[in-house]
Amino acid sequence: MNFISIFDVIGPEMIGPSSSHTAGAAEIARMARKLFSSQPVSVIFTLYGSFAKTYRGHGTDKALLGGIQGFAPDDVRIRQAFEIADKSGLKYEFKIDDEGDGGHPNTADILLTDKDGKTLFIRGWSIGGGKIKIVKINNIKVEFTGEYSTIIVKQDDKPGVIAHLSTCLANHNVNIAFMRLFREAKGLTAYTIIESDEQIPREILEEIKSHEYIKNTTLIQV
């Protein structure tokens, strides 16, 4: 039997009527923004399932657009997310996919683009109570929630990378809660997701990036 806390019953602090359709949507988009190393100039949201059916009535569109601009689920600026985006020059588009299967009733795909044409694709699920799961980065299936202090490492799938990561973590006394490798195919691009139940020191990122096969690192603190 899974443990359910009183906070799962009450739900998160938020702007909007639904922890799944509003708070969760904002968190998916905010996570996508954290993972994008550039300043986005445009964003395309593709919605599936329940998100697609009720996104206007439940404020999912405002929540997603607010989250991309860095607004937390309880940030009152979510109410003016469209106006703020227009003022900043951020271009946005919402698409509905009635036939596709995002893998969960509350699925959002997010495609971010910066001024140089660099892109990032994220797929996220809102799994209830304001909680989320990121299940795809670009064309690689991943799995993490953002509930832990997390390092996302983009790398070439080559021998020695995992050993290097383990050494870096040991050097900084990081206690690993979860560490998983997700890859496109053998020898191609891969992501290592490292989650810790304590704050991961930011200075570890430079040590991690010193390896020749590490392409990018992102630290998500809770």
Predicted local confidence at residue 8, as pLDDT: 46
State the distance between the two ends of the chain, measured CA to CA, in whole angstroms. 26
In this structure, what CATH number is given to the domain that contains residue 213?
3.30.70.260
Predicted local confidence at residue 174, as pLDDT: 94
Residue 153 and residue 134 share a domain: no
Residue 171 and residue 88 share a domain: no
Predicted local confidence at residue 4, as pLDDT: 41
Domain that holds residue 205: 149-220
In this structure, what CATH number is given to the domain that contains residue 98?
3.30.1330.90
Residue 120 and residue 82 share a domain: yes
Instruction: Please provide the DSSP assignment of 4-47 as one string.
Output: --HHHHH----SSS-IIIIIHHHHHHHHHHHH--S-EEEEEEEE
Residue 116 and residue 174 share a domain: no
Per the structure, the count of domains in the chain is 2
Q: In this structure, is residue 3 part of a structural domain?
A: no
**Predicted confidence band of residue 191 (pLDDT cuts 50, 70, 90):** very high
Residue 170 and residue 110 share a domain: no
Percent of the chain at pLDDT above 70? 91
Q: In this structure, is residue 1 part of a structural domain?
A: no
**Predicted confidence band of residue 128 (pLDDT cuts 50, 70, 90):** confident
* 9 pLDDT more than 50: no
Residue 154 and residue 134 share a domain: no
Is the pLDDT higher at 58 or at 174? Answer: 174
Residue 164 and residue 132 share a domain: no
Q: In this structure, is residue 213 part of a structural domain?
A: yes
**Predicted confidence band of residue 2 (pLDDT cuts 50, 70, 90):** very low
Q: What is the pLDDT of residues 56-100, one digit of tens each?
A: 777 899 999 999 999 998 899 999 999 999 999 999 999 999 877
Predicted local confidence at residue 19, as pLDDT: 56
Mean pLDDT of 174-197: 94
Residue 125 tokens read as 């699920």
Instruction: Please provide the DSSP assignment of 146-214 as one string.
Output: SSSEEEEEEEE--TTHHHHHHHHHHHTTPPEEEEEEEESSTTSEEEEEEEESSPPPTTHHHHHHTSTTE
Positive or negative torsion for Cα 97, 99, 105, 111: negative
Predicted local confidence at residue 45, as pLDDT: 98
Q: What is the pLDDT of residues 131-157, one digit of tens each?
A: 999 999 998 999 999 899 999 999 999
